Amino acid sequence: MITSWTAAGLDAWGEKLGRVLTAHDVEPATWTFAELGRAATAAQYLNAIDQLHAFTRRMADWWTGGFDLLVTPTLGEPPPKLGELVPPADNPLAGLARSLGLIPFTAQFNITGQPAMSLPLHWNAAGLPIGVQFIAAYGREDILLRIAAQLEAAQPWAHRRPSVHA
């Protein structure tokens, strides 16, 4: 689905620009994704949507067990150094493969559309924030906003900045 969306997105931008986008217009990984998306059949795409919908229903059903929040780390490992995710020219998807280890706790909520947020509740020795992710049931953004306000009041973070920041 992501590769098909990437292809459709590049096509849409091409229409807005009045020309067909080429590999020279985007990063190599984006172009590779688009090419994979263009190679997918309609049947494969529809099967992926069916699987996504089934997964989303299972995720929604989890909340019927009486849970208000799910708490996880934001990342699966410490943040990578700048440039570490840049793929070599001969393997444009290497950066993606490397980044998957970083996001074992976030992708499923991006996919299902559940409300989730990451709060900087700890800092490592280098001064980098360590995120804690909070997930709520569908339509329960109010719970996330309340918990964020309470945690920020208890442990303010707005004044904290890593030594390198934008």
Using one digit for the tens of pLDDT, what is the confidence trace for 141-152? 999 999 999 999
Q: What is the pLDDT of residue 129?
A: 87
CA gap 86, 83 in Å, rounded: 5
Q: What is the pLDDT of residue 112?
A: 92
Q: What is the pLDDT of residue 122?
A: 92
Q: What is the pLDDT of residue 162?
A: 79
Mean pLDDT of the chain: 93
Sheet holding 129-135, edge to edge: 70-73, 129-135, 116-123
Q: What is the pLDDT of residue 96?
A: 87
Q: What is the pLDDT of residue 161?
A: 84
Angle between helices 2-17 and 28-39 in degrees, nearest 10: 110
CA gap 29, 27 in Å, rounded: 6
Give yes or no for residue 166 having a pLDDT over 80: no
Q: What is the pLDDT of residue 144?
A: 98
- For the question of whether the overall pTM of this predicted structure is more than 0.75, the answer is yes
How do the domains of the chain map onto residue ranges?
63-166
